[in-house]
Amino acid sequence: MNAAPQPSQSAALEHFWMPYTNNIAFKRSPKMIASAQGMYYTTVEGKKVLDGLATLWCVNAGHCRPKIVEAIRKQAGVLDYASSFSVGHPLPFEVARRIAELAPEDMDHVFFVNSGSEAVDTALKIALAYHRLKGSGTRTRLIGRERGYHGVNFGGISVGGVSANRKAYGVMLPGVDHLRHTHDPARSAFSRGQPAAGAEFADELENRIIPLHDASNIAAVIVEPVSGAGGVLIPPQGYLQRLRQICDKHGILLIFDEVITGYGRLGKPFASEYFGVTPDLITFAKGITSGTVPMAGVIVKRDIYDTFTQAAGSGVDFFHGYTYSGHPLASAAALATLDTYAEEGLLTRAQTLAADFENGVHSFKGLPHVIDCRNLGLIGAIEFAPRAGAPGARALEVFNQCWDRGVFVRPIGDNIAFCPPLIAEKKHLEEMFGVAMEVVRELK
Return the number of the residue (165 or 194) whose C-beta is nearest ligand PLP: 165
- Candidate list 128, 223, 229, 277; residue touching ligand PLP; CB under 6 A: 229
> Which of 116/236 has CB closer to ligand PLP?
116
203, 246, 250, 434 from 134: Cα distances, Å: 27, 20, 15, 55
φ, ψ dihedrals at 383, nearest 5°: -120, 135
Cα torsion 337, 339, 343, 348: sign: positive
- Cα–Cα distances (Å) from 343 to 139, 288, 336, 337, 347, in that order, read 44, 15, 10, 10, 10
The residue within the footprint of ligand PLP, chosen from 49, 220, 247, 260 (CB under 6 A), is 260
**Pairwise CA distance, residues 420 & 61, whole Å:** 10
| The one segment of 21-29, 61-69, 116-124, 272-280 that binds ligand PLP by CB under 6 A | 116-124
Strand order in the sheet with 40-43: 33-37, 40-43, 48-51, 407-408
Contact pick of 60, 75, 84, 117 for ligand PLP (by CB under 6 A): 117
Question: Whole-angstrom Cα distance, residue 439 to residue 368?
Answer: 11
Question: Is 417 one of the binding residues for ligand PLP (CB under 6 A)?
Answer: no
CB of 255 to ligand PLP, least distance (A): 11
Q: How many CA atoms lie within 13 A of 221 on its CB side?
A: 29
Of the listed pieces 122-130, 223-231, 233-241, 400-408, which binds ligand PLP according to CB under 6 A? 223-231
**Taking contact as CB under 6 A, which single stretch among the options 37-45, 144-152, 306-314, 360-368 is the one that binds ligand PLP?**
144-152
Closest residue to ligand PLP: CB criterion: 116
Q: Which of 75, 115, 165, 337 binds ligand PLP (CB under 6 A)?
A: 115
What phi, psi does 401 have (nearest 5°)? -65, -40
**Binding marks (x or -) toward ligand PLP, 30..69, rule CB under 6 A?**
---------------------------x------------
Task: Return the sign of the alpha-carbon dihedral for residues 328, 290, 410, 275.
Answer: positive
Number of residues that bind ligand PLP (CB under 6 A): 15
Strand partners, 384: 370
| Cβ 387 to ligand PLP shortest distance, Å | 26
Given the rule CB under 6 A, which residues bind ligand PLP?
A: 57, 115-117, 120, 149-151, 224, 228-229, 257, 259-260, 285
